[in-house]
Structure 1
Amino acid sequence: MKAPWQSSYPVTYPQYTIACNGWVLKRLLRLLTEPFKKLSSWKLIPVGKISTSVPSQSFKLGEFTIDWQGSDTKQPSLQIIHQSNSTKIIWQTSPGCSFVSGGDVRLTIIEERGSIEIDEQKHANFSDQIVEGIKQENDTLEIYGRLVGRQSSSDQPQYVLKLRTVGSKELDFQLQIIDGNVNETQLQFTTSPDEHFYGFGEQFSDIDCKGQWIPIVCEEGGIGRGDRGPRTLNLLGVAGNRFSSYAPVPYFFTNKGRAIFLTNTEPSIFNLRDPQIATIRVSSSCMQGRIFCGETPLDIIELYTNYVGRMPPLPHWLHQGAIVGMQGGTALVRQVWSKLRELDTPIAGFWLQDWVGQRRTIAGKQLWWNWQLDETAYPGWQQLVSDLAEAKIAVGVYVNPFLVDRPLKSNPQQRNLYTEALQQGFVVKKNQAEPYLIESTDFSAALLDLTNPDARKWFKNVLKEEVLGQGAKFWMADFAEAAPFEGVYAGDESGLVYHNQYPVDWVALNREAIQEAGKEGDAWFFNRAGFWQTPSHSTCMWLGDQNTTWGINDGIVSAVKGAISGGLSGFSINHSDIGGYTSIANPILEAIGIGFRRSRELLYRWMELNAFTPVFRTHEGNQPDKNVQFYTDEDSLKTFSYWAKVYAALAGYRQQLMIEAATKGYPIIRHLILHYPDDPNVYKLEEQFLLGSEFLVAPVLKPGKKTANVYFPAGEWVHLWSGNTYGNVTTGIKQTVPAPLGQPPVFYRQGSKVAQSVLEALKAKNIVIRNS
């Protein structure tokens, strides 16, 4: 594989300011004016005209053909096809329209508790394009010329678009604008009303993003993201929006077999609102990426993950049962463990996130971010770890890249990692001396500077000594989406360039700690923040903080969509918190319909869902005492035990799928387009999925539902609980199926040998009850 392209010319970036003073007023004004902005094109670099003196000609780059329709045509255009299918257009420009444009912009960035808003102020657009020449040298083609601004014809920055083969089905591109005043680059190409766009990392509101405007910037997922909730969350900047994502990726593929991704780390925007023309814009004078040609969506995912990396199989021991998420100390853990043993509940691990001790904040119970065991919270820790290990149950903990100054009067021997890091210059700074403190609920924390090799080495030792050294075999590697844009980094990186890269470096650090400790394949972690290189380093993704609701943008529905879209983007092993995390359990707010807490029905439906995902893990949430838990009473314990057994029965099949994930990049949770790319009825499906290729899962995502409308792709599908057959051999069909609580719509492919082995495992546990 060829090395990434180096920029041939100096790269310029937009200047930006961070909104500080008066940011609440600014946000209020933004919220009030946003509806008007959406009706205008004020953010767009408009598509301009193209002119040229270069005649029509074709070029061969490996197995690609680049066809230029030039000066001898009325409307110049560019088209790329592949010799495997000359009728399939890989990439095409709109005849007579520019395909390269640029802008001179300044950015205003609002950062608030991990949430990001970026506003652009345009100084100049260069929309019209002149193609002055095209030349080929070996496997590289250069298209070059000038851009013309409509405001002024005197400034005509130069541009160079390079195309280079890197494989039989991959084409690298680099677009560079050569002018110190142009700091934003845009690429335009044709689309059609019937083209559907998938990918873009984890997207929680839309899987098919056609017609949308998708910003690619890592940020806090937000609370509500458009679902009903307290309006003050919008003003405080923590509500998020439909495209707020912990793990966005500048990548897509379509039902037309086309795929593009950017290797830029700067913020970018994919504008798919126009039914005929799509644009990609990046905050840099240089845009770089890759175009793929695949016969099927699975081919494209394999090509894509061959570049960005693939996630390894999870340890074998994880598949034996549930990851039990608990807090509250040693005595409570032993008490609940005893009850689960009585029900013969299969348990793989206890995840004890409050191992560092708890503090009270406005968000509920939060942890002390000083990454070492608090023995006052867990007396007899080593004996607990030993007893669980004897029962083949692992212990997990919680870690993030923040550090707080914790009072240690009760244990003077305990380390203060915050002080250690500050003394050695291991945190992101506000200036050359002062640490950059980031607000989180009602306290502030310093952030580990991952551009500093010594800081990385120090924190890896913390993980090896304080986490793995205390007997933990897994942990949540939380946060990482809040690297400040105005932070001062040891590596001299600009926050604009480094912000999206920080989550990649965070997961890489965690993976390296496991490898250096000799625990690869046995220890693992799960992270929520990510970017395009994350699959190279992560051992497992998790979908962050959903609300404890049925909400489509931030409740159980969004967990399904996030898992599906993430799988399409290389995050092949992913899961959600059973029952969700965030609740606003205030009786007054609940009475007026904007507060919420976890109901029993929601908890049970989420258990049903997660039994058919890679990891079956509970979370108590931010207000444990105000939400129904799996251990609330006998019925909740029995229900949890039942679905843990279902999850464990699928172990063999999941392990097969994880081998596919590691070798081909295929996701465990799959959109139906991956196996039925020629069925247009699956293109808009967003609330049902395939587990591998053999199981169809249509989780119940609304309260009080006893039936479900399920789309069955061509073939016969057997209902897991009744044995009844659904579907049609020759064509897809939608049918209504029973879906009482405890029997979610799950089906397996008729005649599937894999499904039969799963069925036998379920029968052995007395799980599946057939109608006679």
Structure 2
Amino acid sequence: MSRLNPYLSAVQLTQSSQGFSVYYQQRLILQHNTENPCLWVGCGAADIDMFRGNFSIKDKLNEKIALSKARVRECPEGWLVDFSRGDSIRATLQIGVDEAGRLVLNLHNEDQQHNRIWLRLAANPEDHIYGCGEQFSYFDLRGKPFPLWTSEQGVGRNKNSYVTWQADCKENAGGDYYWTFFPQPTFVSTQKYYCHVDSSCYMNFDFSAPDYHELALWENQATLRFECADSYIALLEKLTALLGRQPELPDWVYDGVTLGIQGGTDVCQQKLDTLRQAGVKVNGIWAQDWSGIRMTSFGKRVMWNWKWDSDNYPQLDSRIKQWKEEGVQFLAYINPYVASDKDLCAEAAQKGYLAKDAAGGDYLVEFGEFYGGVVDLTNPEAYTWFKDVIKTNMVELGCSGWMADFGEYLPTDTFLHNGVSAEIMHNAWPALWAKCNYEALQETGKLGELMYFMRAGYTGSQRYSTMMWAGDQNVDWSLDDGLASVVPAALSLGMTGHGLHHSDIGGYTTLFDMKRSKELLLRWCDFSAFTPMMRTHEGNRPGDNWQFDSDAETIAHFARMTTIFTTLKPYLRQAVAQNAATGLPVMRPLFLHYEDDAHTYTLKYQYLLGQDLLVAPVYEQGRDEWSLYLPEDNWVNMWTGETCRGGEVTVTAPLGKPPVFWRAQSEWAPLFASLRTI
């Protein structure tokens, strides 16, 4: 039979009396026989309940049926496999390649009574798995299931912790190891292939079994794409060619810390003056309360009416110009909802721009002692209107950036303009929100000059989100929700194709008697100096937290660490440019550059910043020394100048000198050596 695509030679399908196997570039991808089928279908009813972005998700599953019989037919595009069980239950799998040579599996469940699919991909027991979006508790995902649903990340995120138990008791907000703002149906195997599923339905990727990965999809069709490479760096280049890449950051991002300040124009000026006079390098002021404040029992909340509050911030327009002339940018805050008691919501409602409830009225979401309307971004007119809000109220005001918050709250029982089920649109919503911000910059000619940072994401965020931040960590030392959790979050996101990541210095969530300590803030500052962006946050209860200006010693610490950060500017800028050009993340797992070192595949709390800096943040309280692993190379201790060849090492790690090593052969060696004198 004549084949239409020359890339099909990379795919081999072999048959036996009991089934078939599919190989792609010598990797076994699918294996099916009557005793161990690769495909199931079933019927379920989703039971999804949302409370303030926290979701309780259950499946009322009526049946799960193995499709053990398979008939393979060749066709010009590849192969068509008919799966069946009995006379009425059927599904098809089309196997082919696309124009870029990727293996494509198109699954279609032809029985309309069934709305669930389970597909088992072949695996080896020794495989490691990475990706699935931003994962805070695990980097190597092997051995566990990972449900993929954008939501609040959860408070505590460990069902064995007291904090998580308290959050669950209060409002089901404790979360679990897999809760994440940014899930994505993409994983990378150490067989050096990636798998990406083109769907936004609820999914569960289960990597528990030794010889297969089971992908569960709450839909009756799906497209899977696979690609292989000889190295992980080349594989990420291929993945990001499919998904898109982030543009380079504005140059001002590397010029210091972005100070999270609330309280008005005069407070911003006073704090800015205090820090700059003490030698702190400041690139911007991020005032999330620029649109006003609402006080709740949770703490200080932003007024969700995306206009400059001139009462709280008098003369802000002229002050923004002054600050910009001094090299200090002004950043604001926005999210895709509008407070029900304010005029933007009234305008959106009058124009018919809000998502609807079952009765056809405007759907209002309870956000914690206030309600918000959901701007229906699937409505082209509403989408354009909201872009104009960004352009007029933020870009024209002179903002150099903003936090584009939320995106994960879309209720599944709302009704949207495009007619697509909100259950299907839920995961896609953060990327649509990112695209709205991206186009606002693009259409004003400000892309590359302005930036925004997001916590929620999905497939498409790679192309449309200029920067991610890790969300709302606790102001504590917990592994699952404190400083430590940011490292696997950045690494997993990098393996999913989004290579720009940072976090709130000191964390955000201050509940259940948590209080940010001075030590935690300083350790987080140390860590953030070796990321693509430094930015502080007061937290939801500022008075309970140690702040960047709480005493002279803290200010001096920020002065030193921001000087280190700005000194690294040319190195960071090169790493960010690599991410924009090839998809190679800025914060990298060690195995990207040390593939032959088996130990690097299990490390989740240390990383490479670019190729030449190895960083191992101190994430435990009261430590003055720290142990880490160095792959075999010539390494130089950043602070002592001592050299090491590799292996497990223990170093002194006082505040202000986090464990950092640089490659002796690096072209940046003179720059790194200069940091010892700061």
**TM-score for the superposition, normalised by structure 1:** 0.85
Partner of 2:603: 685
Partner of 1:492: 419
Q: Which one of 167, 171, 174 corresponds to residue 239 of structure 1?
A: 174
Report if aligned partners of 2:11, 2:24 keep a CA contact under 8 Å in 1.
yes
Cα distance in 1, alignment partners of residues 395 and 402 from structure 2:
9
- Partner SS for 2:448: coil
Q: Which one of 361, 381, 384 corresponds to residue 434 of structure 1?
A: 361
Amino acid at match of 2:123: T
Partner of 2:113: 181
Amino acid at match of 1:201: G
Q: Which one of 715, 723, 734 corresponds to residue 641 of structure 2?
A: 723
- Tell me whether 1:757 sits opposite 2:675 in the alignment: no
- Partner SS for 1:481: coil
Offset from partner CA, 1:374-430 (integer Å, 9 cap, x none): 1111112123212201101110000001111346xxxxxxxx101001111111111
Offset from partner CA, 1:492-511 (integer Å, 9 cap, x none): 11012111111111000001
Cα distance in 2, alignment partners of residues 97 and 431 from structure 1:
43
Kindly report which structure 2 residues correspond to 1:303-314, keeping only aligned pairs within 5 A, or say none. 303-314=238-249
Report if aligned partners of 1:255, 1:677 keep a CA contact under 8 Å in 2.
no
- Partner SS for 1:62: helix
Kindly report which structure 2 residues correspond to 1:386-401, keeping only aligned pairs within 5 A, or say none. 386-401=321-336
- Partner SS for 1:392: coil
Residue 69 of structure 1, CA deviation: 2.7
Partner of 1:670: 588
Amino acid at match of 1:234: D
- Tell me whether 1:738 sits opposite 2:678 in the alignment: no
Report if aligned partners of 1:63, 1:168 keep a CA contact under 8 Å in 2.
no
Cα distance in 1, alignment partners of residues 387 and 32 from structure 2:
51
- Tell me whether 1:650 sits opposite 2:568 in the alignment: yes
Kindly report which structure 2 residues correspond to 1:241-640, keeping only aligned pairs within 5 A, or say none. 241-406=176-341, 416-431=343-358, 433-584=360-511, 595-640=513-558
Residue 90 of structure 1, CA deviation: 4.5
- Partner SS for 1:597: coil
Cα distance in 2, alignment partners of residues 664 and 60 from structure 1:
26
Offset from partner CA, 1:183-227 (integer Å, 9 cap, x none): 111111222331111000000000101011101111111111114
User: Once structures 1 and 2 are overlaid, which stretch shifts more, 227-236 or 621-630?
Assistant: 227-236
Structure 1 or 2, whichever has the larger Rg, is 1
Residue 94 of structure 1, CA deviation: 5.8
Cα distance in 2, alignment partners of residues 65 and 370 from structure 1:
54
Cα distance in 2, alignment partners of residues 603 and 630 from structure 1:
8
Partner of 1:747: 661
- Partner SS for 1:500: helix
Residue 693 of structure 1, CA deviation: 0.8
Offset from partner CA, 1:499-533 (integer Å, 9 cap, x none): 11111110000011111112111011001110011
User: Once structures 1 and 2 are overlaid, which stretch shifts more, 346-355 or 186-195?
Assistant: 186-195
**TM-score for the superposition, normalised by structure 2:** 0.96
RMSD: 1.6
Amino acid at match of 1:496: E
Amino acid at match of 2:571: Y
Residue 362 of structure 1, CA deviation: 1.3
Amino acid at match of 2:45: R
Structure 2, unmatched stretches of 5+, are none
Offset from partner CA, 1:443-471 (integer Å, 9 cap, x none): 22111110011111111111111111111
Cα distance in 2, alignment partners of residues 63 and 661 from structure 1:
31
Offset from partner CA, 1:93-118 (integer Å, 9 cap, x none): 26642112111111111111111222
- Tell me whether 1:102 sits opposite 2:29 in the alignment: no
Kindly report which structure 2 residues correspond to 1:26-175, keeping only aligned pairs within 5 A, or say none. 61-71=7-17, 75-82=18-25, 88-93=26-31, 96-137=35-76, 139-146=77-84, 148=85, 153=86, 156-167=88-99, 169-175=101-107
Cα distance in 2, alignment partners of residues 432 and 515 from structure 1:
37
Structure 1, unmatched stretches of 5+, are 1-58, 83-87, 408-415, 590-594, 768-772
- Partner SS for 1:464: helix
Report if aligned partners of 1:578, 1:603 keep a CA contact under 8 Å in 2.
yes
**Number of residue-to-residue matches in the alignment:** 670
Cα distance in 2, alignment partners of residues 536 and 390 from structure 1:
31
Amino acid at match of 2:565: Y
Report if aligned partners of 1:91, 1:258 keep a CA contact under 8 Å in 2.
no
- Partner SS for 1:395: strand
Cα distance in 2, alignment partners of residues 712 and 758 from structure 1:
17
Residue 232 of structure 1, CA deviation: 4.1
Report if aligned partners of 1:215, 1:267 keep a CA contact under 8 Å in 2.
yes
